[in-house]
Structure 1
Amino acid sequence: MKKIFRLIILVISFNASAQEMSNNMVVAEEDNRNGNGYYTSYLIALQNLNDVKKLDIQKEDSDLFLNSQTYFPNLNDLVINFSKKVYKSRDFENFNNLENIMITYSWNLTKLPDNFTSLKSLKKIFIYNCGLVDLNENFFSNLNIKSVGICGNHISKLPSIPLNNNIQYLNIGYNPISELPTSFENLKELKTLSLKGTDFEIFPSEILDLTKIEKLELSKTRIANIPTELIKLKNLRNLYLVGLNIKQIPSSLKDSQLTNVWISDENLSKKEKNNIIKSLPKKCNIYWTSNYNQMLDIDEKCYCER
């Protein structure tokens, strides 16, 4: 009986030691991810302010950062995920080296500081799946910014876009936006545009002046007609029309440079499909699909839906 009891004690002790080793390994692994400029723990980052170049944090750490005034002088890349308790973001005024900001899945975040986009080094801003209801009137005023993603918020209106901006990528998908500002035509450098999941019912004519566009996402909007003037977009290669009630394509697009078109076919007759095929360039690849989650063929993907 004593031998059995000792055996039970040994098994319990072994399991406890194994669990402690496992916990230590997790901590060690976490510690190993914090250093050489890259930090996933806000508390560890606070101990190494001058070393932090990329801060990739989530949940409680995200809340702590967004509520603090701590300055990381060499921070270049900021990624914030799953903030739960912050409604208004902190000020970023002194982050002069910050080039990239990504804030995702922070549904309670409804407001950004007025100077959020004013940093001179800033090039990329992604705010996906958050609670933003509007953007400051100066949101697009920084002419150094090249990529903007505000997918999956509650924004119904875009602020004015200045002349000489350098935005090449713009994703405003899954917002209740139904019209574009007249200044949208100032996006002369724009190459990729996603309106996916917005409230547009008519193809926005402002897009037709953006001749550098290469990739255009209209999927899951209520647009039912593609204008003949789309031929003006001489650089357009990829066109996404999934989830639309499109019955025909303008025959003018037969002379376009389109190489890939994604389009829904579940409600099309055989004749309608054949007419669409005839209206597109012979070398154009047509992907008949009802999968509106098809992603843009680009690096900056928007994994969001309201």
Structure 2
Amino acid sequence: MRTRRGTGKAVGRLVGRRALAGVPVLLVVTFGVFGLAAVSPFDPVQQYLGSAGLTASRETLDQVARNLGVDVPFWQQWWNWLTSAFGGDLGESSTYRQPVAEVIGGRLGWTALLCAVGLAVAVALAVVLGVAAARRPGGALDRAATSLAYTLEAAPSFWVGLLAIWLFALHLGWLPAGGLTDPGTDEITAGGVARHLALPALVLAISQMPWFLLYVRQGVSDALAEDPVRGARARGLRERTVLFGHALRSGLLPVLTLVGTRTPEVITGVLLIETVFSWPGIASATSEAAMAADFPLLASVTTLSAAAVLAGNLLSDILYGLADPRVSLEDL
């Protein structure tokens, strides 16, 4: 039987192993970013100067290139950025004309808030609908929930976002169409953030709910056929206790694997949703950095996304290992 101290040591060793394995992955990812940016048709100097770059002299263009650090081969640009990043300097963003650390720091919290609320709503809806569908497999509710899941899975998140804006913002006027504050004011309040967060979080939840719903439905349905759950019913326990206290606990184990596998999908979904709703998160800065060939910002955002994927997989393995005593954390 696991002890709390032994479990903590096993988790620490797993985190250490994954951290060491993740270093070369992040190095390759950042190198690939600079390589792709080098062959991009976008000229960072022209993007930085804008229309003034069309009439600028060669001396001016060369000086701007030196200032931006793009007058050397891409591998040297990568090495310069990497050595500075290890020292805590992520470089200067040519898009926002400020340090990359400040750009990310000012946006990361809003993206984290959107992801947290959206995923929490998605899991809550998936659990309720999944358990209700699994209670009577093949019934009307089961067929309706399964059909809904497949339909939402096929719907692009940006399309759902535009439809939500048309319905709730333009047609009904219940919620704002986007942004973080109301037009004509820059004041950020808790109530205003909640109102502006509602639509993008709902769309994110809708885009992520289908797979969770299907996994919960299948997991709970399988658990209801197992002997321990049958025994709980035979002892006369209430149906609610059987469903949520026994079947759901066993049925949620496969859902834990989705925490890691769905991380890339969540990142992609957030990118589209933040763009549709003009949400001031870090994902929206990715497209702007790519269009402007903003190497330091692009490399930092991509590294952060790759680290999030690695962290998501690590979290799912830890949760699965802690939830299922048959799984050894040493083998993950």
Could you tell me the TM-score, scaled by structure 1's length? Answer: 0.25
Structure with more contact order per residue of length (Cα contacts < 8 Å, sep ≥ 6):
2
Could you tell me the TM-score, scaled by structure 2's length? Answer: 0.23
